[in-house]
Amino acid sequence: MSEPRLRAKELDAADGLAAQRAEFLLDEGGGGSGGEAVYLDGNSLGALPAAVPGRLEDVVRRQWGELRIRSWTEEGWWTAPERIGDRIAPLVGAAAGQIVVGDSTSVNVFKAVVGAVRLARSADTAAGPVGSAGPVRDEIVVDATTFPTDGYIAESAARMTGCTLRPVPPSGVPDALGDRTAAVLLNHVDYRTGRLHDLPALTAAVHAAGAYVVWDLCHSAGALPVGLDEHGVDLAVGCTYKYLNGGPGSPAYLYVRAELQDRFDSPLPGWNSHAEPFGMRPEYAPAPGALRGRVGTPDILSMLALEAALDVWDGGVTIEAVRAKSLALTDFFLECVEAYVPEGRVECLTPRAHGERGSQIALRCPDAGDVMKRLIERGVVGDFRHPDVLRFGFTPLYVGFADVERAARVLADVLAEPGT
């Protein structure tokens, strides 16, 4: 047995999270000709938690099928958005009452960015008479490397609020801020490279400029500590189908810091966020707290599947332990790639420094699309990002060190094949 395989066996034996793997339904025999399947695409879609199918069957057959409309009250459907938000809160370092679940990430980005501009302008108005608080805040700064949808939404929000949109790489954000900056939209982890950006420092820089920050946590929540409350983040959004394993299209969430909730003015004031939703009044009055982030009727089936998926975090699993294993997995993967793959065949785009790395490894490879296709055929599932990036996501709750070693070994085999 080669040295990396022996090392993998030792690391798995010492893994304090190894038992969590049983909480997921994994296709252990789905690895094609190469043996067991290795699923390294949890940064796109998390694996299925074992508790979800039975819970959903109960929701469909009993709650919907038998209780029907009574389930809104008797089974707690109505309060699901904030109840599930409170379960997500500890995973992103937030106290209860600041997260509401619902809608897609894109919709929540729109709410948050427009809401941030309105917060900035209301703060300036409160500072003194018109014209005494300095220039009008009419600029939105957006991460120039962001996932495309965030850029599209930011552009639309800029048009709606009469702002100029300014794309800036995260490293350049502090120097780009000024007294016209209203809102800044940033990604905690870069979706292509896996680079982890400095949330505490960037948040502090935005606040020093008198602006409000919105963080996209899609590639960090459930994989590493975030510290929303600790670092004074204003607003944050995130999806739940990646490291939170909520299932395809599971609802996203919106965080609004408690101190800002009474001034948060959502651009989508739906009946579900009304202070008296069943009053059916023509005038809108926002609900107190994070509830004003709700819009329409909750997506109950997806929402309750997510609630069941969050059970995997019960029983003492901490985000700190998950982060420690994530770093160990990604370190070991890079070691195995260096041991198996000929030098120069791939280039690592993910930072080596722990403080700059999320929970994925991105490798640049000229024929990445074909390589990933061959990897999947051999049971190693990652994904490909145009034009030349292989992405491997490491979900510590169900990925082991033997998985990591096998993935690197199969990658080397594929790269050694004719035509690659």
Catalytic pick from 39, 110, 191, 241?
241
CA-closest candidate to residue 359, choices 387, 331, 383? 331
55 is catalytic: no
Is 216 annotated in the active site?
A: yes
Residue with tokens 């993967």: 333
Cβ-based neighbours of 116, under 8 Å, separated by 6 or more: 182, 183, 184, 211, 212, 213, 214, 234, 235
Active-site residue (options: 143, 216, 299, 403): 216
Which of the residues 378, 391, 406, 409 is marked catalytic? 391
Question: HSE-up of 34 (CA within 13 Å, CB side)?
Answer: 21
Token code pair at residue 370: 């074909």
Question: Is 110 among the catalytic positions?
Answer: no
Which of the following is catalytic: 110, 147, 253, 401? Answer: 147
Catalytic pick from 111, 242, 325, 357? Answer: 242
Is-contact 137 182, C-beta < 8 A?
A: yes
Give the catalytic positions in this structure: 147, 216, 241-242, 391
